Amino acid sequence: MAEPTPGERTMNHLDAVLTVNGRRRRYRGDGAMPLLWFLRDELRLTGTKYGCGEGQCGACTVHVAGRAARSCVTPMSAVAGRAVRTIEGLARPVPAPAPGGATAVAPPQGDEALHPVQQAWLDEDVAQCGYCQAGQIMAAVDLLQRMPRPTDADIDRAITNLCRCGTQMRVRRAIHRAAALMLVAAKQGGAP
């Protein structure tokens, strides 16, 4: 069977190719199905959580084409041919020494460097129950990509994810810490 073009439809069926955390994935099914269920049920990427099913709480936040999106209300037809990144895709492989003393990037095998936002979350002890935290982290990464030095007011406007445990003040501190980590990494020529 020939490869479909991104988002090719036949009857009520979507046959699409998308990239999830850097890997090509194929979806065949109802184009109206929410991205959340493809990620959790078909790809077994369970870091993205179901919270409300209405796009209000943010527990399901992922990145679609580099921007935060609520996966519970994002239909598969909207992600055909696009790149999706989940919480599982944030960490980066740790460089491993190569023969001759050079450094090469090793394939991920549990030795991964956390994204600066993930590290800041740990440093600030943000999580309480933890259920909403993957979505909070993905929203924070999106914010910092668009606004490297956000103010408290910027954070309050941009991070609309709900936390029933009341960790918003720690979330804010973690975002400021991550911003500082990312600025240091950028000055040293590293990438988050």
pLDDT tens figures, 119-167:
999 999 999 898 999 999 999 999 999 999 999 999 999 999 999 999 9
Given this model, what pLDDT does residue 187 score? 84
Given this model, what pLDDT does residue 107 score? 46
Count other Cβ atoms within 10 Å, centred on residue 179: 21
Q: What is the mean pLDDT of residues 57-72?
A: 97
Domains with residue ranges and CATH for the chain: 9-89 (3.10.20.30), 92-187 (1.10.150.120)
Give the tokens for residue 25: 């994935």
Q: Which residues contact 30 (CB under 8 A, 6 or more apart)?
A: 12, 13, 14, 76
Give the tokens for residue 58: 């943010």
- Outline where DSSP puts E strands in the chain: 8-10, 13-20, 23-30, 61-64, 67-70, 83-85, 92-93, 95-97, 103-105, 112-113
Given this model, what pLDDT does residue 106 score? 42
Q: Which residues contact 63 (CB under 8 A, 6 or more apart)?
A: 69, 83, 84, 85, 86, 138, 141, 142
Q: Which amino acid is residue 23, in one-letter code? A: R
Q: In Å, how far are 3, 27, 45 from 17, measured between CA atoms?
A: 9, 6, 17
Given this model, what pLDDT does residue 103 score? 46
Q: What is the mean pLDDT of residues 67-80?
A: 97
Cα of first residue to Cα of last residue in the chain, in angstroms, is: 39
